[in-house]
C-alpha cells in the first residue's frame, strides 16, 4: 500500500504526491489537483475496508482503477486489463463494494460584498450506480476529512443518483445538480479550435445587419445569437446561451470554425478595447480565451476557402415518385440523402436484418469490444453477437417509428426548371456571374430566381405526378410537412444544415404546390448559392428532391447527435436536446432547449441544461430519452458509411402517447 505522506504533499522518491489518510486543506488540494472543464479537481478513493482515503496526485494517477489495482491491490496493469470490465463493475456497481471513487472539484461563488468564496463539489463517475445510503456514507466520510471552513456539496452524477437522493433530505446531504453548477458558466466551448482574426462585436441584430455586407473570412463575429445566414468567418462568439445543436453551431462544426459562448465579452471588450482589434481566439473544452495581438497577423485563407466538394451526378431520368418506405440509401442520387435515409430507416425497422452492433463490436483498447456493455444496456443475458443483433433490432423497432410519406425525385425539379424559358435565362445569368466571380450581383440574381420559381406555373406532367402520389396523405384535409432533400447537403465538409427550406403547415393541393415550389426555390437563395460556390459545387449539378410527410403532432421535439459535440474523442455519450413542440424550435435557435448527455456504453444519463423551460423533464420521460439515445447509437452502426464511429444527427419528435418518430437521419457534420 502507498505510504502515508504528510499534509503538505511532499513527493516520494518517484515524485508522487499522493496522500493517504490525511485531512484535506485548500493548500493540499491545490498541490495535488489538475484542471478539468476549467475547474481544479482532485481524484479521491475511499477504502471502506481500511477506513481511510487516498488523495491522488492527478499528474501521476489519471485513472482511479489503475491506482487501486497497482498501488492498493498490488496487481499489474496487464492483469487489470485482462479483467477490466469485471473490475469496473466491482468498484462502480457492486452495492457491497470496498472502494468508493469520486472527484472533488473546486468552485467559487460571489458573496454579497463582491468577494468570492471557495467551495468543493464531490461527485462519482457518470456510470456509478451508488445507491442513496452509499452516497450518504461517501459524502459524510469526505465531509469529516475536509477543512470545515470549505463548504462541501454532493453532485449526483446521473439521473439514477438524483432519484436515490430524493429520499434523503438536503440537510443530511447538501447537494447541487449539474445544470445548477454549470448552467451559468461564463464561457462554454461549442466547437473547439483556434483562429486569429479581427473581432467584430455586435450588441444587437440591427448592428450586425448594418455591417453584414462588410464581413469577411478574417473576421471573428461576436453577437448574442448568430443568425442562420452568418457567413463563413475565422471564428464565432455567442454572448448569450445557445446549444451546440443549433443550425449555426452545426455549420461551425462542419466548417471547422471555433465557436463558444462568452457571456462576459461585453466587459472584456470594454476593458481591453477589443472591438475591431486583431485577436487570437482559442476554444477548448476547459478554457475559452481572447488574446489581443499587436497588429494584423500574416493570415492564410482558411481550409474551407480551398474546398472543392464533389457531388454525385444526379439521376434525372427513370426516377418515379415513390413512397418513402420503398427507398433505400442507394437512391440518394435520384431523391437526395434525406429522403434516401428515411427510406433506409423504414427498411431497418421493417426487415430487422441490419447489423446494429458494429459500433459496440469495434475494439476499444484495452477491451476487444463493447458487446458485454451492449448486452447490459439491452437487458440481454446472452452476449453472443447473433443474439445481440436480434436484440438490437428489436430494441430499435420498439422504440422509434419512421415517417409516412412520399419522395419527389430530382427529375420533377428538372422538368419544372426546363419548362420555363425565363427560369433558364435567369439561371444562365447566375451561372455567368458565378464564373466571373461577380459576387456583387449574385444576391440580386438569386433573389430574382427565387421569386420567379415561386411564381412559375407547375407543368401539368409534374402536377399530375405530385397530386397522384399524395392522394392518401391529403385525404380529409390532413396537415402535411414538406421538407428539402438536395444532393448538395450532408456531404463530407458540407452539411448545409438549415440552408434549405422546409414548410410545416401545408393543407390541400394548392398549398402543397406552393410549398414544393418554395423548397425548390430555396436551392437558389443567395446564401445557399454563395456557400455552394465557395465549396466548388457547380450550379448545374445541384438539384432538389422533396419529401412530403404526414404531419404528426409533437408533445416534445428535438435533435440528438451520437457524440458529445465538444469532445469528439468521447465514444460513450449521445447528446440530446429537446423542447415542447416540434424539433425545428431546437435547431432554429429561437428557444434554449433542455440538454442531456446519455452514456450508451456503461449506462446512465445526466441533465446538462434546463434551457428556457427552467424545469427538468419527468423521470419517466428522461428514461425514455435514454432508450432513444441508445437507439441513435445503434442506428449509427448501420448508417455510418465507412466508419461506424461517424456520428449521426437525428431529428425526432415524441407524441402525447410517448411514441418516438424520427423525421430526419443525416451525418453529423464534424
| CATH number of residue 446's parent domain | 3.30.1490.20
The answer to the question of residue 547 being in a domain is no
Residues 529, 569: Cα–Cα separation, whole Å: 33
* pLDDT tens sequence across 281-307: 999 988 899 999 999 998 887 776 667
pLDDT exceeds cutoff 50 at 7:
no
DSSP at 591: S
φ, ψ for residue 578 (rounded to 5)? -155, 160
- 294 and 159, same domain (yes or no): no
pLDDT exceeds cutoff 80 at 363:
yes
Q: Is the dihedral of CA 446, 450, 451, 456 positive or negative?
A: positive
Query: In the beta sheet, which residues pair with residue 221?
Result: 200, 236
Residues 325, 407: Cα–Cα separation, whole Å: 10
Q: Is the dihedral of CA 482, 531, 582, 638 positive or negative?
A: positive
**Domain region containing 638:** 354-394+553-667
Give residue 154's pLDDT.
98
- 532 and 424, same domain (yes or no): yes
Ranking 109-123, 343-357, 588-602 by mean pLDDT, the lowest is 109-123
Ranking 153-167, 192-206, 239-253 by mean pLDDT, the lowest is 239-253
- 384 and 410, same domain (yes or no): no
- 23 and 142, same domain (yes or no): yes
pTM of the entire structure?
A: 0.92
- 532 and 624, same domain (yes or no): no
Q: For residue 334, which of 347, 321, 345 has the smallest C-alpha distance? A: 321
Question: Which carries the bigger pLDDT value, residue 183 or residue 173?
Answer: 173
User: What are the Cα distances from residue 369, in Å, to 76, 358, 526, 543?
Assistant: 21, 10, 48, 42
Ranking 233-237, 319-323, 567-571, 654-658 by mean pLDDT, the lowest is 567-571
Residues 529, 523: Cα–Cα separation, whole Å: 7
- Mean pLDDT calculated for residue range 17-22: 95
Q: Please identify, among 263, 281, 304, the residue that sits at the C-terminal boundary of a domain.
A: 304
- Grid coordinates given for 257: 470554425
13 band by pLDDT with thresholds 50, 70 and 90: low
The answer to the question of residue 101 being in a domain is yes
Residues 175, 182: Cα–Cα separation, whole Å: 14
Residues 180, 332: Cα–Cα separation, whole Å: 44
Residues 354, 333: Cα–Cα separation, whole Å: 22
Q: For residue 261, which of 247, 249, 279 has the smallest C-alpha distance? A: 249
- Mean pLDDT calculated for residue range 648-670: 93
pLDDT exceeds cutoff 90 at 591:
no
CATH code of 390's domain: 3.30.470.20
| DSSP, residue by residue, 440-474 | HHHHHHHHHHHHHHHHSPPPHHHHHHHHHHTTTTT
Ranking 249-253, 420-424, 521-525, 659-663 by mean pLDDT, the lowest is 249-253
Q: Please identify, among 263, 284, 304, the residue that sits at the C-terminal boundary of a domain.
A: 304
The answer to the question of residue 633 being in a domain is yes
Using a 10 angstrom Cβ sphere, with 0-12 exposed, 13-18 middle and 19 or more buried, the burial of residue 584 is buried
The answer to the question of residue 493 being in a domain is yes
The answer to the question of residue 24 being in a domain is yes
The answer to the question of residue 380 being in a domain is yes
- 66 and 171, same domain (yes or no): yes
Indicate the number of domains in the chain: 4
Asked whether the beta carbons of 534 and 231 are under 8 A apart, the reply is no
Query: In the beta sheet, which residues pair with residue 401?
Result: 661
CATH code of 232's domain: 3.50.30.10
- 59 and 168, same domain (yes or no): yes
- 60 and 107, same domain (yes or no): yes
- 162 and 58, same domain (yes or no): yes
* pLDDT tens sequence across 491-514: 888 888 889 999 999 999 999 999
Q: In what order do the strands lie in the sheet with 219-223?
A: 187-191, 259-262, 235-238, 219-223, 193-201, 278-283, 288-292
The answer to the question of residue 12 being in a domain is no
- 510 and 559, same domain (yes or no): no
Give residue 233's pLDDT.
93
- 24 and 125, same domain (yes or no): yes
Residues 191, 254: Cα–Cα separation, whole Å: 10
The answer to the question of residue 6 being in a domain is no
- 480 and 560, same domain (yes or no): no
Q: Please identify, among 288, 304, 320, the residue that sits at the C-terminal boundary of a domain.
A: 304
Asked whether the beta carbons of 562 and 187 are under 8 A apart, the reply is no
Tell me how long the chain is. Answer: 670
Pairing of strands 648-654, 556-561: antiparallel
pLDDT exceeds cutoff 80 at 342:
yes
* Residue listed under C-alpha cell 427498411: 347
Amino acid at each position: 500500500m502507498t505510504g502515508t505522506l504528510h499534509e503538505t504533499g511532499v513527493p516520494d522518491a518517484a515524485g508522487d504526491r499522493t496522500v493517504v489518510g490525511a485531512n484535506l486543506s485548500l493548500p493540499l488540494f491545490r498541490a495535488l489537483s489538475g484542471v478539468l472543464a476549467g475547474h481544479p479537481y482532485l481524484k479521491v478513493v475511499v477504502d471502506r475496508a481500511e477506513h481511510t482515503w487516498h488523495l491522488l496526485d492527478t499528474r501521476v494517477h489519471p485513472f482511479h482503477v489503475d491506482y487501486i489495482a497497482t498501488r492498493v491491490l498490488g496487481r499489474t496493469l496487464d492483469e487489470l486489463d485482462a479483467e477490466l470490465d469485471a473490475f469496473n463493475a466491482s468498484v462502480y456497481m457492486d452495492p457491497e463494494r470496498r472502494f468508493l471513487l469520486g472527484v472533488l472539484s473546486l468552485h467559487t461563488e460571489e458573496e454579497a460584498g463582491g468577494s468570492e468564496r471557495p467551495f468543493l463539489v464531490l461527485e462519482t463517475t457518470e456510470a456509478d450506480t451508488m445507491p442513496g445510503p452509499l452516497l450518504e456514507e461517501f459524502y459524510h466520510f469526505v465531509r469529516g476529512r475536509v477543512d470545515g471552513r470549505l463548504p462541501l456539496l454532493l453532485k449526483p452524477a446521473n439521473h439514477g443518483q438524483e432519484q436515490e437522493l430524493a429520499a434523503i433530505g438536503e440537510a443530511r446531504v447538501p447537494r447541487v445538480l449539474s445544470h445548477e453548477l454549470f448552467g451559468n458558466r461564463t464561457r462554454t466551448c461549442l466547437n473547439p479550435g483556434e483562429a486569429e482574426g479581427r473581432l467584430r462585436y455586435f450588441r444587437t441584430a440591427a448592428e450586425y445587419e448594418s455591417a453584414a455586407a462588410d464581413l469577411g473570412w478574417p473576421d471573428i463575429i461576436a453577437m448574442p445569437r448568430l443568425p442562420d445566414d452568418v457567413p463563413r468567418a475565422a471564428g464565432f462568439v455567442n454572448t448569450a446561451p445557445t446549444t451546440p445543436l443549433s443550425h449555426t453551431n452545426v455549420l461551425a462544426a462542419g466548417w471547422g470554425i471555433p465557436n463558444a459562448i462568452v457571456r462576459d465579452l461585453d466587459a472584456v471588450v470594454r476593458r481591453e478595447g477589443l472591438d475591431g482589434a486583431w485577436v487570437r481566439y482559442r476554444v477548448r473544452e476547459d478554457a475559452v480565451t481572447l488574446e489581443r495581438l499587436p497588429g494584423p497577423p500574416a493570415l492564410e485563407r482558411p481550409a474551407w476557402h480551398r474546398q472543392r466538394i464533389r457531388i454525385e451526378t444526379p439521376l434525372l431520368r427513370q426516377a418515379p415518385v415513390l413512397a418513402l418506405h420503398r427507398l433505400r440509401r442507394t437512391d440518394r442520387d435520384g431523391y437526395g440523402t434525406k429522403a434516401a435515409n428515411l427510406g433506409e430507416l423504414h427498411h431497418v425497422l421493417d426487415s430487422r436484418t441490419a447489423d446494429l452492433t458494429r459500433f459496440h463490436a469495434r475494439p476499444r483498447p484495452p477491451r476487444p469490444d463493447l458487446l458485454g456493455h451492449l448486452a447490459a444496456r439491452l437487458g440481454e443475458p446472452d452476449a453472443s453477437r447473433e443474439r445481440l443483433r436480434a436484440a438490437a433490432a428489436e430494441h430499435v423497432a420498439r422504440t422509434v417509428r419512421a415517417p409516412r410519406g412520399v419522395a419527389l425525385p430530382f427529375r420533377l425539379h428538372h422538368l419544372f426548371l426546363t419548362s420555363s424559358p425565363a427560369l433558364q435565362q435567369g439561371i444562365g445569368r447566375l451561372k455567368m456571374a458565378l464564373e466571373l466571380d461577380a459576387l456583387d450581383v449574385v444576391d440580386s440574381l438569386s433573389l430574382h430566381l427565387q421569386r420567379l420559381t415561386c411564381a412559375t406555373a407547375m407543368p401539368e406532367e409534374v402536377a399530375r405526378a405530385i397530386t397522384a402520389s399524395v392522394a392518401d396523405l391529403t385525404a380529409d384535409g390532413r396537415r402535411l410537412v414538406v421538407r428539402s432533400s438536395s444532393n448538395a447537403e450532408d456531404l463530407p465538409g458540407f452539411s448545409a444544415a438549415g440552408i434549405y427550406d422546409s414548410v410545416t403547415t401545408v393543407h390541400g393541393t394548392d398549398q402543397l404546390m406552393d410549398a414544393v415550389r418554395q423548397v425548390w426555390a430555396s436551392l437558389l437563395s443567395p446564401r445557399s448559392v454563395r456557400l455552394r460556390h465557395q465549396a466548388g459545387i457547380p450550379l448545374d449539378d445541384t438539384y432538389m428532391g422533396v419529401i412530403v410527410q404526414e404531419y404528426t403532432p409533437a408533445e416534445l421535439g428535438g435533435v440528438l447527435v451520437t457524440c458529445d459535440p465538444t469532445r469528439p474523442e468521447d465514444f460513450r455519450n449521445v447528446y440530446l436536446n429537446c423542447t415542447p413542440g416540434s424539433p425545428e424550435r431546437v435547431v432554429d435557435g429561437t428557444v434554449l432547449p433542455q440538454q442531456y448527455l446519455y452514456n450508451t456504453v456503461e449506462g446512465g444519463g445526466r441533465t446538462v441544461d434546463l434551457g428556457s423551460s427552467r424545469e427538468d423533464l419527468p423521470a419517466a420521460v428522461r428514461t425514455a430519452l435514454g432508450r432513444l439515445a441508445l437507439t441513435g447509437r445503434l442506428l449509427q452502426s448501420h448508417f455510418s458509411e465507412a466508419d461506424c464511429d461517424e456520428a449521426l444527427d437525428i431529428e425526432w419528435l415524441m407524441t402525447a402517447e410517448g411514441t418516438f418518430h424520427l423525421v430526419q437521419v443525416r451525418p453529423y457534420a464534424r
